Amino acid sequence: MIKHHLHPEILLSYAAGNTSSSESLIVASHITVCSKCRREVETFEKLGGKLLEESDSVDVNASSLDSIMSKISDHVSVDNASDVVSTNAVFKNIPSVLRKYLPDGSNLTENWSKGIGGIKYFDIDLGNSNQNTRARMLSIPPGKKLPHHGHESQELTLVIQGGFSDENGSYDVGDVAIEDEKNIHTPISDSKEGCICLVVYEGNLKFKGPLGPILNFLKI
């Protein structure tokens, strides 16, 4: 059962088409497996539609139309939100909205880049290098303890397989860890399965989330 959810603010932004591609990807992936957050998004979407219907006229000039269209094109589709099981057993339980960005292979992490200590990573190309949030898949071996550390900006981590725990509790498949400048913690990956997760973060070089110390150490 999912214990850690996305905040209503980001679900509202997503429903309004105001999240970046990376944020949209993590929201779409989470609501594939989380009916609670999916219902909230649907409620926000209905509310938005109702507001539009009730407005007498909408003044749309060329620049606001461009802005609306770019937001729509940035919005990751959730048409297949209920489709979580691939026919390929290797990719079982990977949300289809995320699966389509990952490379093929005989196992999930085949064709991912190799780091030290058995860590693997894969940068997801959403074709939007001008946006300030990025998405990266990360595979951490079982029982890996990370240094005690804090954060300088928001980072979202969605557990895809396995999990990790820290002072705030344990994070299993479907859970989202939301880290910001207020959080200081010491995460450790699941002792049996390790952790495969999707990390969405701000900025270009510095990782500050639960898995940030490993990423910074790898200089990747």
Contact 209, 199 (CB under 8 A): yes
CA 46 from chain centre, in angstroms, equals 23
Q: Where are the beta strands (DSSP E) in 80-168?
A: 113-114, 120-123, 133-140, 155-162, 164-166
Shortest distance, CB of residue 106 to Zn ion, whole angstroms? 31
Which residues form the interface with Zn ion (CB under 5 A)? 5, 34, 36-37
Shortest distance, CB of residue 16 to Zn ion, whole angstroms? 18
Shortest distance, CB of residue 126 to Zn ion, whole angstroms? 22
Comparison of 30 and 120: residue with beta carbon closer to Zn ion: 30
Comparison of 24 and 109: residue with beta carbon closer to Zn ion: 24
Say what the alpha-carbon torsion angle 178, 182, 184, 189 is, to the nearest 10 degrees: 0
Name the H helices within 55-184: 62-74, 96-99
Shortest distance, CB of residue 34 to Zn ion, whole angstroms? 3
Comparison of 37 and 199: residue with beta carbon closer to Zn ion: 37
Edge-to-edge strand ranges of the sheet holding 133-140: 113-114, 120-123, 133-140, 195-202, 155-162, 176-179
Comparison of 6 and 108: residue with beta carbon closer to Zn ion: 6
Q: How many whole angstroms separate alpha carbon 130 and alpha carbon 110?
A: 28
Comparison of 178 and 220: residue with beta carbon closer to Zn ion: 178
Comparison of 25 and 146: residue with beta carbon closer to Zn ion: 25
Shortest distance, CB of residue 59 to Zn ion, whole angstroms? 36
Shortest distance, CB of residue 156 to Zn ion, whole angstroms? 12
Q: Which amino acid is at 174?
A: G
Comparison of 180 and 188: residue with beta carbon closer to Zn ion: 180
**121 three-class SS:** strand
CA angle 174, 11, 165 (to 5 degrees): 30
Contact 220, 113 (CB under 8 A): yes
Shortest distance, CB of residue 87 to Zn ion, whole angstroms? 26
